[in-house]
Structure 1
Amino acid sequence: MKVLPFAGLVGLASLGSQAQVPLTASPPSVDTVVVTATRSMRPDAATLREAIVITRADLENAGTQSLADILLRRAGVEIRGTGGPGQPVGLMMRGAGTAQTLILIDGIRAGSATVGTTSIENIPIELIERIEIVKGPLSSLYGSDAIGGVVQIFTRGKSVPHLFVSAGYGEDSDGRVAAGVTGADQNNSFSLSAGGRKVDAPSATNARSFCHDEDRDPYKNAFAEAKYSRKLWQGETIAVNTFYSRGKTHFDGCPDDLGNRHDDLNDQSIFGAGITSSTEFYPGWTSRLSYGFGQDEIETTGAFTSNFRTRQNQITWINEFVTSPGGVALIGLEGLRQEVSSNSAFTQDHRDIGSIFGGVNETWQNQRLEASLRYDRDDQFGNRTTGSFSYGVPWQGVGLVSTTYGEGFRAPTFFDLYGPASDFYQPNPDLRPERSKSVEFSVRANPGSAWGWKATYFDNQIEDLITYDFATMSSQNVARARIKGVEASVNGTYWGVRIRGNLTVQRPEDEDTGYRLQGRAKQFGTVDLSRDFGDWTTGLSVLGSGDRFDSRNESEASRLPGYAVVDARVRYRFDKRWAVDVIATNLLDKRYETSVGYDAPRRGVFLKVTFDAF
Structure 2
Amino acid sequence: MRHLFKAALFAATSLAIAPASAEDLVVTATRTPAPLERLPARVDMIDRASIEARAIVTLPEAIGAAAVQSGGAGQQTSAFLRGASSKHALALFDGVRLNDASTPNGQYDFGLDTLGGLDRVEVLRGPASAVYGSDAVGGVVNLIPRSGAATAFAPFAEAAHGAFDTSRVLAGAAGTAGALSYGLSGEWFDTEGYDLVPRRMATHTGDADGARITTLTAAASAQTGAFTFDLLGRWRESRTAFDTFSGGPFFDLRADDPNLQNEATQSLWRLGAAAALSQALIARLSGGQVRSDRSESDGGVQTSAAESGRDFADLSLNYTHGAATLTGGLAFERNSIDTTPPFANPLSAGEEQLGAYLIGQFALSENITATAALRGDDYETFGTHTTYSLGVVADLAPLRLYASYGTAFKAPSLSERFETSFFNIGNPDLRPEESHSWEVGADVRLIETWRVGASYYQTRIDDLIDYSFAALRNINVGEAAIDGAEAYVALAPASWADVRVAYAWTDAANAVTGQPLARRPEHSWRFDLALAPVEQLTLALTWTYVGERNDVTYSDAGVFSSANGLVDSFSIGAIAATYHVTDHADLFVRVDNVTDETYEQPAAFAGTPRAWTIGVRARY
Matches within 5 A, 1:305-454: 305-323=303-321, 325-343=322-340, 345=345, 349-365=349-365, 366-395=367-396, 397-419=397-419, 421-445=420-444, 449-454=448-453
1:283 to 273, 279, 285: 279
Contact 1:318–1:333 (8 Å) recurs in 2: yes
Matches within 5 A, 1:490-509: 490-495=489-494, 496-509=496-509
Secondary structure of the residue aligned to 2:285 is strand
Matches within 5 A, 1:562-573: 562-573=569-580
Is 1:540 the equivalent of 2:508? no
1:265 to 261, 264, 270: 261
Rounded to whole Å, the distance in 2 between the matches of 1:398 and 1:595 is: 41
Secondary structure of the residue aligned to 1:172 is helix
Rounded to whole Å, the distance in 1 between the matches of 2:588 and 2:467 is: 46
Rounded to whole Å, the distance in 2 between the matches of 1:476 and 1:503 is: 36
Structure 2 unaligned blocks of 5 or more: 1-17, 554-560
Shift of 1:388: 0.3
Rounded to whole Å, the distance in 2 between the matches of 1:43 and 1:298 is: 38
Q: Structure 1 stretch 490-499 or stretch 355-364: which is displaced more?
A: 490-499
CA deviation digits over 1:459-514, x for unaligned, max 9? 00000111222323332211111110111234342212112332111211111011
Structure 1 unaligned blocks of 5 or more: 1-25
Secondary structure of the residue aligned to 2:164 is helix
Contact 1:519–1:551 (8 Å) recurs in 2: no
Rounded to whole Å, the distance in 1 between the matches of 2:257 and 2:591 is: 34
Is 1:82 the equivalent of 2:70? yes
Secondary structure of the residue aligned to 1:70 is helix
Is 1:156 the equivalent of 2:146? yes
Matches within 5 A, 1:456-475: 456-475=455-474
Secondary structure of the residue aligned to 2:416 is helix
Secondary structure of the residue aligned to 2:116 is helix
1:245 to 229, 233, 236: 236
Rounded to whole Å, the distance in 2 between the matches of 1:91 and 1:411 is: 18
**Cα gap change, 1:588/1:373 in structure 2, threshold over 3 Å: closer, same or farther?**
same
**Cα gap change, 1:446/1:539 in structure 2, threshold over 3 Å: closer, same or farther?**
closer
Secondary structure of the residue aligned to 1:201 is strand
1:112 match: 100
CA deviation digits over 1:215-250, x for unaligned, max 9? 2112111111112221121x3110111011111001
1:6 match: none
Contact 1:288–1:317 (8 Å) recurs in 2: yes
Rounded to whole Å, the distance in 2 between the matches of 1:211 and 1:298 is: 28
CA deviation digits over 1:122-175, x for unaligned, max 9? 110112211111111110110000000111101222333311110000001001
Rounded to whole Å, the distance in 2 between the matches of 1:490 and 1:281 is: 45
Contact 2:20–2:36 (8 Å) recurs in 1: no
Shift of 1:45: 2.7
Contact 1:209–1:598 (8 Å) recurs in 2: no
Opposite residue 418 of structure 1, the aligned amino acid is F
Opposite residue 46 of structure 1, the aligned amino acid is R
Q: Please, what TM-score do these two structures have when normalized by structure 1? A: 0.90
Contact 1:53–1:132 (8 Å) recurs in 2: yes
Shift of 1:280: 1.1
RMSD (CA atoms): 2.4
Is 1:236 the equivalent of 2:243? no
Opposite residue 130 of structure 1, the aligned amino acid is R
**Cα gap change, 1:589/1:258 in structure 2, threshold over 3 Å: closer, same or farther?**
closer
Q: Please, what TM-score do these two structures have when normalized by structure 2? A: 0.89
Secondary structure of the residue aligned to 1:415 is helix
Shift of 1:53: 1.4
Contact 1:501–1:528 (8 Å) recurs in 2: yes
Matches within 5 A, 1:545-560: 545-551=546-552, 558-560=565-567
Opposite residue 190 of structure 1, the aligned amino acid is Y
Opposite residue 123 of structure 1, the aligned amino acid is D
Matches within 5 A, 1:105-184: 105-115=93-103, 116-160=106-150, 161-184=153-176
Opposite residue 47 of structure 2, the aligned amino acid is T
Query: Identity of counterpart residues, as a percentage?
Result: 24
Rounded to whole Å, the distance in 1 between the matches of 2:446 and 2:30 is: 19
Rounded to whole Å, the distance in 2 between the matches of 1:104 and 1:451 is: 33
